[in-house]
Structure 1
Amino acid sequence: MNQRASHSELNQYHLGSWYSAYRFIISFCLLLIFLATYTQLAPEYPYPQLYLYVLTAYVVITSLQYLALNKIQAAVPRQLVLIFFADVSALSLLALALDGPNLHLSLLFVITIFAASLLLDARKALIITLAAVISIVYQLFLGSILDFASLKNIGNSALLAFLFFVVYGSGQIAVRRFQILENLNFSQSLELNRLQNINRYILEQIETGYLVLDDNCHVVLSNPAACVLLGMPPAYSAEKYPLYKAQPDLFQLLKFEALQNGEKFQFESQQSRYHIHVHVQKLNVPHQTLTLLVLQDAQRLNQQVQQLKLAALGQLSASIAHEIRNPLAAIVQANDLSAGSAPEQQQLLSRMISKQAKRIDSIIQDTLNMVKNKETHAVLLRLNDFIPLLLQEDLADIQHKIQLHMQQGCCIYFDEAQLRQVLINLIRNAVRHNDPEAPHIELNIYPHEQKMRLDVRDFGQGVAVQHQASLFQPFFSTEITGTGLGLYLARSFCEANQAQLTYAEQQRGACFRLTCQRAEL
């Protein structure tokens, strides 16, 4: 609140200083015009001596008030009140010397009233307006009584007095609007300053370096982490500067390389002890294109990747151990019970051991498929040709249970073998969980905005709400014989192809939706 008040007082002082300079110039020019034209226009001045004395005094007073306002910056509102009273008095006397106000003096009166409405509060501005009205209207009555003025201009004076009130009202409306805009601008400047401070604090605290360059390779923004990684003095972080002075090695690299959006590369410099990983991003701002370089310590980045791999390996190992322990315990128990059992019971236990051994083999096989580091090769797939061939070659035994709905011209980029494995898994799961009374499941392929959707839907019981969050976790399955790796593998394949596999809740049944970028032919 104090900041807003001081800001308003500062604006009032500046406007008052400009107005004070204006009135000095006007008074001085009026005096020069009178002195230069008096001999030719003497009849136009009914009381030339009064006109001359008032103008001379007005020039002296305006000059003194201008100097006082600039030299003594205290009690500015009081000085402004004195300034406007001096203006009203001088203009009234000038009007009296001319036997009534003319067009030029009327304009000066109007400017004075409007300036008072802007620079003073409403009450003081009203007092100035009333003083102007009284001085204009009643000076003619006083002049006629004392026989040095006539009442022939009383109509013009009354009209001018009415105009004063109109100008005062207009000025008050303008002041209110100015105040609203000023308050809005002040609030926005405070909010902008607060956001800038927050952004600066965040940039100073994070360990990732950010370097923003313009088209001339000048650094527009850099945080302390970027300066540390590049071996630049931290003093550069708050100002714009040429890159070739602070980091010539990086400048030479950027000078001869056409960096593309999303490009990544490694950078080393004799000026820095770090091996830096650089990620390039283009920033489109009005009237220019900026380049953002995201800088990270490559060694620390590799350490983080290794830690994530070890953490994932530990979680996977724990999950595998937990999944194998159950069938292994059943095998051990069946083996203990088989000794001394009847032949029929031994056959039953033998089948149980064989079944659990196959379950362990299935878990190991799915785990091996999951951890294979097979490289993804996305190619253009015309789904109108690919899907019928998939149903005929890989799903011939259940093809009659699949109802296909597909629009023409559906094309995507995807690894063919991985998409085949994903769809086989989803379709067989849907057939297995479908309602026995439902004649088929649905495979719906259609474009949605800039994406392509492949929906595999059944009409069974659906997935319980409490199980939906765990659907794509490894080794989660609602079936006793399931390994829980099918959906996990399917989602992994989709992510490797920059696609998404999600569960879309339906009123009846379950729907698994594969969403990927649509390819244009």
Structure 2
Amino acid sequence: MEPSHYSQLNQYHLGLWYGAYRLIISTGLLLIFLLTYPNLTADYQYPQLYYYALGIWVAVNAVQLFTLKFVRRWIQAQFILIFFTDVSVLSLLTLATNGPNLHIGLLFVIAIFSASLLLDAHKALVITLIAVISVIYQHFIGSIFAFSSLTNIGNSALLAFLFFVVYGSGQIAVRRFQILENLSFSQSLELYQLQNINRYILEQIETGYLVLDENYHVVLSNPAACHLLGIEPAYSQERFSLYHSQYDLFELVHFENLENGEQFQFESQQSRYNIHVQVQKLIVPHQTLILLVLQDAQKLNQKVQQLKLAALGQLSASIAHEIRNPLAAIVQANDLYQDSEKEQQHLLNQMISRQANRIDRIIQDTLSMVKNRETHPVMIHLNEFIPLFLQEDLADVADQIQLNSDTSLYIQFDEAQFRQILINLIRNAIRHNAADADHIQLNIHPYQHKVWIDIRDFGTGVDVPDQAKLFKPFYSTAINGTGLGLYLSHSFCEANQAQLNYIQQEQGACFRISCQRMIP
């Protein structure tokens, strides 16, 4: 719908309301006149004129309202005729009484304001001028019949001024209404487009979605969900009861008191699919909804297997690539060994030993990586643990570590894995520290409900393009590195509900372990 058509439709409905108002007012005035005339004869200068004008106005109003309702053509012409009728009848009523008065003046004001809303500015101005002329020149007509007075002339002038004020106010209101109307139309159009996009997305995706209200009625579904559950596709466009449409799923959802994030599988008698269901609670204003994410369990298992095979292939290729380099060095050293002098043979033996140790480290780190060891978190008092750890595990480099920790802090972590993480990060920082720097920093401090453990060096840092690869297996910038230290440290942190991140610094590199702060 175009904005102009939308505006015309609103204008038409407003005109119907004004037509009903005219009929009610005219009928009411006629009944009041018939009931009060015997007691208020002095208030009417020409009672017969007042009576006939009201009677004609009631009849014309009824006809015009009927025409406006059922003959939806020439709407603007009908509006013009309506307001011309109002101004003419109100002028006659003013003439039939003792000049302009408050009651008829208010009816004039309402008619002029309505004309400003329903007609364009020029036509509304013509209606206003007709009303002003009819009121201003009442005293000239009255002088012919000898009832004009200075009071009536003053009232007429004041009322004419009020008409112009109302016309101006009406034009300002019309402009404001048009701005709000256009804004409302634009917003409703955007909302409609977004709804169509959402509906299109839901119809295209293979994952099924069901949204249930508190009474287990489906308020939103997509064709994929209906297909998986064996429900008629027509249900996807309307609200329906889960109890009547899919009783098997209703039993599981209703009687099991499922928690947020819970997952389960079920087989329905209405469908040939084994369906994997994930439950999510949606908290929206004034109600709680349940989102059920439905997937074909067989396809889901196939995807999981494909991902495992892809990961295994990538891991195997990485291991083969990492082992190939030291193995080639060993083969080359072995070929040179027979024809070499004793001093060269000694150097070749050392080379073979180093490359064999490197292969062994790659194998050990790979086994640690793929081994799914259980974590055993314990409460660790960092202020006591860290100094002891530095003496026991890093005695050879303890003098190169500056420990900064003032507050007594506790975390929950698997102690063996925590030690391995710190060893990897601290030795890595010392290895990459600047040549003129005599220490690295180990900073421990609280932040909100977290504990931050920062290991910082003062070397060249990590280039921005390389930061995304830091925690990937077998990625290393060191010649003798296996590329598994950071990956294992990152995995150990995730296993203990902690995070390991690289923090950009102006100088050097900083790796931050973020743990939940515990209360002893």
Q: TM-score, normalised by structure 1?
A: 0.95
- Asked if residue 105 in structure 1 is aligned to residue 99 in structure 2, the reply is no
Q: Which residue of 2 aligns with 1:219?
A: 218
CA distance in 1 between partners of 2:27 and 2:175 (Å): 33
CA distance change for structure 1 residues 264 and 387 in 2, over 3 Å: closer, same or farther? farther
CA distance in 2 between partners of 1:256 and 1:409 (Å): 47
CA distance in 2 between partners of 1:396 and 1:386 (Å): 14
Letter in 1 for 2:60: I
Conserved in 2, the CA contact under 8 Å of 1:47 and 1:98?
A: yes
Shift of 1:95: 0.3
Shift of 1:450: 4.2
Conserved in 2, the CA contact under 8 Å of 1:422 and 1:490?
A: yes
Conserved in 1, the CA contact under 8 Å of 2:326 and 2:356?
A: yes
Letter in 2 for 1:272: S
Helix, strand or coil: the match of 1:153?
helix
Conserved in 2, the CA contact under 8 Å of 1:214 and 1:290?
A: yes
CA distance in 1 between partners of 2:176 and 2:378 (Å): 62
Conserved in 2, the CA contact under 8 Å of 1:110 and 1:164?
A: yes
Helix, strand or coil: the match of 2:38?
coil
Q: Which residue of 1 aligns with 2:115?
A: 116
CA distance in 2 between partners of 1:322 and 1:44 (Å): 111
CA offsets, 1:54-101, max 9 Å, x none?
A: 112111211111111112111111101100000000000110010312
CA offsets, 1:397-436, max 9 Å, x none?
A: 3223222223535344433322221111101111222234
CA distance change for structure 1 residues 274 and 317 in 2, over 3 Å: closer, same or farther? same
Q: Which residue of 2 aligns with 1:293?
A: 292
Conserved in 2, the CA contact under 8 Å of 1:99 and 1:150?
A: no
- Asked if residue 396 in structure 1 is aligned to residue 409 in structure 2, the reply is no
CA distance in 1 between partners of 2:304 and 2:380 (Å): 33
CA distance in 1 between partners of 2:126 and 2:181 (Å): 25
Conserved in 1, the CA contact under 8 Å of 2:94 and 2:100?
A: yes
CA offsets, 1:181-236, max 9 Å, x none?
A: 11111111001001111111111111111111111111111111111222222211
Q: Point out the more displaced range, 370-379 or 167-176.
A: 370-379
Q: Which residue of 2 aligns with 1:325?
A: 324
Q: Which residue of 2 aligns with 1:199?
A: 198
Letter in 2 for 1:25: I
Q: Which residue of 2 aligns with 1:334?
A: 333
CA distance change for structure 1 residues 298 and 377 in 2, over 3 Å: closer, same or farther? farther
Q: Which residue of 2 aligns with 1:474?
A: 473
CA offsets, 1:355-398, max 9 Å, x none?
A: 22122112111111111121334454443343334323322332
CA distance in 2 between partners of 1:43 and 1:80 (Å): 35
Q: Which residue of 1 aligns with 2:346?
A: 347
Helix, strand or coil: the match of 2:513?
strand
Alignment map for 1:82-101 (pairs within 5 Å): 82-101=81-100
Shift of 1:48: 1.0
CA distance change for structure 1 residues 99 and 464 in 2, over 3 Å: closer, same or farther? closer
Q: Which residue of 2 aligns with 1:142?
A: 141
Q: Which residue of 2 aligns with 1:410?
A: 409
Shift of 1:283: 1.0
Letter in 1 for 2:158: L
Letter in 2 for 1:113: I
CA distance change for structure 1 residues 14 and 466 in 2, over 3 Å: closer, same or farther? closer
Percent of aligned pairs with the same amino acid: 70
Q: Which residue of 2 aligns with 1:447?
A: 446
Helix, strand or coil: the match of 1:277?
strand
Letter in 2 for 1:49: Q
Conserved in 2, the CA contact under 8 Å of 1:282 and 1:292?
A: yes
Conserved in 2, the CA contact under 8 Å of 1:96 and 1:140?
A: no
Q: Give ranges in structure 1 of 5+ residues lacking alignment.
A: none
CA distance in 2 between partners of 1:407 and 1:306 (Å): 49
Conserved in 2, the CA contact under 8 Å of 1:462 and 1:510?
A: yes
Letter in 2 for 1:46: Q
**RMSD between aligned residues:** 1.9
CA offsets, 1:139-167, max 9 Å, x none?
A: 22133145465554111111111111111
- Asked if residue 315 in structure 1 is aligned to residue 304 in structure 2, the reply is no
Q: Which residue of 2 aligns with 1:266?
A: 265
CA distance change for structure 1 residues 45 and 461 in 2, over 3 Å: closer, same or farther? closer
Q: Which residue of 2 aligns with 1:127?
A: 126
Letter in 1 for 2:187: Q
Helix, strand or coil: the match of 1:507?
coil
Q: Which residue of 1 aligns with 2:17?
A: 18
CA distance in 2 between partners of 1:520 and 1:212 (Å): 40
CA distance in 2 between partners of 1:280 and 1:64 (Å): 62
- Asked if residue 65 in structure 1 is aligned to residue 29 in structure 2, the reply is no
CA distance change for structure 1 residues 368 and 27 in 2, over 3 Å: closer, same or farther? same
Conserved in 1, the CA contact under 8 Å of 2:43 and 2:98?
A: no
Q: Which residue of 2 aligns with 1:180?
A: 179
CA offsets, 1:113-172, max 9 Å, x none?
A: 111111111111111111100000112213314546555411111111111111111111
Helix, strand or coil: the match of 2:2?
helix
Q: Point out the more displaced range, 83-92 or 325-334.
A: 325-334
CA distance in 2 between partners of 1:28 and 1:465 (Å): 82
Letter in 2 for 1:45: Y
- Asked if residue 47 in structure 1 is aligned to residue 41 in structure 2, the reply is no
Letter in 1 for 2:471: F
CA distance in 1 between partners of 2:376 and 2:269 (Å): 38
Q: Which residue of 1 aligns with 2:229?
A: 230
Conserved in 1, the CA contact under 8 Å of 2:433 and 2:458?
A: yes
Shift of 1:44: 1.6
Conserved in 2, the CA contact under 8 Å of 1:144 and 1:151?
A: no
- Asked if residue 280 in structure 1 is aligned to residue 275 in structure 2, the reply is no
Q: Point out the more displaced range, 413-422 or 132-141.
A: 413-422
Letter in 1 for 2:36: T
Conserved in 2, the CA contact under 8 Å of 1:141 and 1:151?
A: no
Q: Which residue of 2 aligns with 1:80?
A: 79
CA distance in 1 between partners of 2:460 and 2:107 (Å): 87
Letter in 1 for 2:467: Q
Q: Give ranges in structure 2 of 5+ residues lacking alignment.
A: none
Q: Point out the more displaced range, 153-162 or 466-475.
A: 466-475
